[in-house]
Amino acid sequence: MSAMHKRPLGRSRLSVAPLAFGGNVFGWTADEATSFSLLDAFVDAGFDLIDTADVYSRWVEGHAGGESETIIGKWLQKNPSRRDSIVLATKVGKDMGEGRVGLSAKYIRSAAEASLKRLHTDRIDLYQSHDDDGATPLEETLEAYAELMERGLVRAIGASNHSAERLAAALETSRRCGLPRYECVQPQYNLCDRAGYEAELEPLVRAEGLGAIGYYSLARGFLTGKYRSEADLAKSPRGAGVKAAYFNPRGFAILAAVDEVAAGLRATPAQVALAWAMARPGYTAPIASATSTRQLEELTGAARLALDAASIERLNRASA
């Protein structure tokens, strides 16, 4: 895996392996010891981009947010030599309670300091606006990021959950004001959820030379094949969401195509779904999560899976 081709994150100096680890599971469905094992295995396999957010996992009863960053920070404390082997990405902007929300300059500064403290690091490699904030001028947000970058606390910035219109406005603001620009976008993107990215964001990404790091790359687990019946849905807290989004004729047609391609390549459905995203021109890396080293080995195997043109076309037709 050491020779794995890396992909640039926009015009920044950052480049990453073609798969990112989604840190939303740390401190939620993966306890501290398991999280440490997963992080070790991910880096040992030659991968480097670890994506988290300050809000992970505030949705869990008894959690306040920051649990994922805290675990990553403890892992880095235990393994300080790992820091230069990873690209550490986190986010700011979602509601952390007590008025801590949005992309104002004051809040970005305080949130960054809090994330750096939890992460036990002196820098965030990729700091992302987790949601658009229409109430704060783009100039104010980007100036706050510029200050953090000038202080060496942030290396590059990105945008998550932004429309093409608002992302384009932010890029124009950066040009006009001489401010750092968003170097990547983080959209929802997978075989089942293509239109939102491909119709508007992708043309902008390719025209501006941005990176693209998609979340829900396995459609909340549906594309792994583990949800095939009503009985399967009861096995996970995500079951209700999976049913609402993907238990329909189109969803099952896509899954059938994934199964067909997987069987022909002696791969798993999850590997095929991730390899399809990795093969998308101009796409940087899908984000995927695992809660066991066995799951992680399956996911990282997707980077070694080369889909032929016929397989990609089969998947494209089923998911069009």
Which residues participate in catalysis according to the annotation? 56
Q: What backbone phi and psi angles, to 5 degrees, belong to 83? A: -60, -40
Report H helices in 29-152: 32-44, 67-78, 105-119, 138-150
Whole-number Å distance between alpha carbons of 12 and 25: 28
Q: What SS3 state is found at 177?
A: helix
Half-sphere exposure of 15 (CA within 13 A, CB side): 6
The partner residues of 156 in beta bridges, in order of sequence, read 126
Strand duo 7-8 + 15-16: pairing:
antiparallel
Q: What SS3 state is found at 30?
A: strand
Sign (positive or negative) of CA dihedral 232, 237, 243, 246: negative
Secondary structure letter of residue 188 according to DSSP = B
Give every CB contact of residue 66 below 8 A, 6+ residues apart in sequence: 54, 56, 114, 115, 118
Whole-number Å distance between alpha carbons of 20 and 206: 20
Q: Which position has the token pair 């995927």?
A: 288
Secondary structure letter of residue 215 according to DSSP = B
User: Using CA atoms in the order 65, 74, 185, 317, what is the torsion angle rounded to 10 degrees?
Assistant: -100
Question: Torsion-angle region of residue 189: left (phi > 0), alpha (psi -120 to 50) or beta?
Answer: beta
Whole-number Å distance between alpha carbons of 234 and 257: 24
Q: Which position has the token pair 């902007």?
A: 93
